[in-house]
Amino acid sequence: MLWASAAPVVDFVYVALAEFGLLILGGGWVVLTWIGFVRYRAWRASVLAPALVVVTIVLSSLSIPFWIGFQVSKPALHDAAADCAAGEPRHIGIFDVQMVRAAEEGGCLFFTQGGLIDSVGIAYLPSGAPNLGEPRHDGDIGYRHIEGDWYRFVQRF
């Protein structure tokens, strides 16, 4: 689940599968913890797994995996944005970049994996984003600020 949260926009399929798995395992863990507590008065070791699940959910909801991945990948992204050369799909930092395209506003768009239907990615826009917020029409791109000249984007299908 943390790896799926490292994408600019959470990959719905991976998160849905992870949440379903966590729900099934969590339910089983609660039952076994209750049995262990009632029968053996052993609860300290049983609290570890639910605590890790809670920490994972909190980290994912605060976008900490994405932020760490972006910070690690920022030098490679900056180098790639300098020439903004289109080419074969490749890894730039931790991101699996499917396509690179020059932005109409100046800058560079890195299309990554993660959108269920819409295209998603990271944009380097030194002159700023033209449309902060959700895309308004099909084909439009909506941007959310990350830091400096960097933005997450969603291009509506």
Task: Label each residue of 8-71 as H, E or C.
Answer: CCCCHHHHHHHHHHHHHHHHHHHHHHHHHHHHHCCCCHHHHHHHHHHHHHHHHHCCHHHHHHHH
Best-predicted range by mean pLDDT (29-33, 42-46, 106-110): 106-110
Picking from 92, 42, 101, 37, the residue whose alpha carbon sits closest to that of residue 69 is 92
Average pLDDT over residues 127-138: 76
At residue 4 the predicted structure's pLDDT band, cuts being 50, 70 and 90, is low
126: how many CB neighbours lie within 10 A of its CB? 13
pLDDT, mean over the chain: 81
Per residue in 72-112, pLDDT (tens digit) is 999 999 999 888 888 788 888 888 888 898 888 788 999 88
pTM of the predicted model, to two decimals?
0.71
pLDDT at 76: 92
* Spans of all domains in the chain: 4-64, 68-155
pLDDT at 110: 92
